[in-house]
């Protein structure tokens, strides 16, 4: 089993890179785990209180649960991955059964901030994009997919996203084995990663 961690700031293009990496791999050999599924359960809080949570701080992530789930995969066991609602700012109570695969990709802005999580990764990738480009992508996504309005997104970016990126996310570049710039389609970097994955899979099968 090969576990890959893909980090980078909000709107950096992590999802695009993940898609490019898995595009040529058999579907039954890959599973993707999103950090977003592991926001801590906030059912004990009111909606008004949940809205105020700093979801871009490492403390918002249930890393213990994520670690335990990665350990289960290493043992060849499945687990129930939580389902998170960005509209309600909370877990839905539903889960998705996640099975061991030859390649496991864990993606999220904060996954390289946690030492124990980093130890699980065979390859650590950081996706880099210009801050203006990341803001534009975040605006488009949050308005179109998460029901936010322009003022809310901009306020959150200035008060939370930008300072959290500078304090916690950008420094994790130093832990990355590969840094991918995504201001344009980076075919070379993605092909290198695919090659590494195929080599490691071949070694495990031999």
List pLDDT tens digits, range 7-45: 988 777 788 888 888 887 877 889 999 999 999 988 898
Alpha-carbon Rg of the chain, whole angstroms? 17
Beta strands in the chain (DSSP E): 2-8, 30-34, 79-85, 90-98, 103-107, 123-128, 178-181
More confident of the two residues 84 and 181: 84
Residue 187 token pair: 């075919």
The CATH number of domain 2-205, selected from 1.10.10.60, 3.40.47.10, 3.40.50.300, 3.40.50.20: 3.40.50.300
> Quick check: helix, strand or coil at residue 151?
helix
More confident of the two residues 138 and 89: 89
> Quick check: helix, strand or coil at residue 42?
coil
Phi and psi at residue 170, in whole multiples of 5°? -55, -40
Give the pLDDT band of residue 77 (cuts 50, 70, 90).
very high
Give the pLDDT band of residue 125 (cuts 50, 70, 90).
very high
Instruction: Determine the straight-line distance between the first and last CA of the chain, rounded to whole angstroms.
Output: 13
Could you identify the residue written with the tokens 């950090």?
Answer: 35
What's residue 156's pLDDT?
A: 76
Burial environment of residue 5 by CB neighbours within 10 A (0 to 12, 13 to 18, 19 or more): buried
Are β-strands 79-85 and 90-98 bridged in parallel, bridged antiparallel, or unpaired?
antiparallel
pTM of the model: 0.84
What's residue 21's pLDDT?
A: 84
Give the pLDDT band of residue 61 (cuts 50, 70, 90).
very high
What's residue 48's pLDDT?
A: 87
Task: Answer whether residue 134 shows pLDDT above 80.
Answer: no
User: What is the Cα–Cα distance from 110 to 63, expressed in whole angstroms?
Assistant: 10
Task: Answer whether residue 126 shows pLDDT above 70.
Answer: yes
What's residue 206's pLDDT?
A: 63
What's residue 100's pLDDT?
A: 94
The secondary element (H helix, E strand) that includes residue 24 is: none
């Amino acid at each position: 089993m090969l576990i890959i961690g893909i980090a980078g700031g909000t709107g950096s293009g992590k999802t695009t890179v993940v898609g490019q990496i898995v595009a040529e791999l058999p579907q039954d050999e890959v599973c993707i785990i999103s950090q977003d599924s592991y926001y801590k359960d906030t059912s004990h809080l009111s909606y008004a209180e949940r809205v105020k949570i700093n979801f871009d701080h490492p403390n918002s992530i249930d890393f213990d649960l994520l670690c335990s789930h990665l350990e289960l995969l290493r043992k060849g066991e499945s687990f129930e991955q939580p389902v998170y609602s960005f509209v309600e700012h909370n877990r839905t109570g539903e889960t998705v059964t996640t099975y061991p695969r030859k390649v496991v990709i864990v993606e999220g802005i904060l996954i390289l901030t946690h030492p124990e999580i980093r130890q699980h990764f065979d390859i650590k990738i950081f996706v880099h994009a210009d801050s203006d480009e990341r803001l534009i992508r975040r605006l488009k996504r949050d308005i179109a997919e998460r029901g936010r309005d322009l003022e809310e997104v901009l306020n959150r970016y200035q008060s939370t996203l930008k300072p959290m990126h500078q304090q916690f996310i950008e420094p994790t570049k130093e832990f990355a084995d590969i840094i991918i710039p995504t201001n344009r389609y980076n075919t070379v970097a993605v092909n290198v990663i695919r090659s590494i994955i195929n080599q490691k899979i071949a070694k495990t099968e031999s």
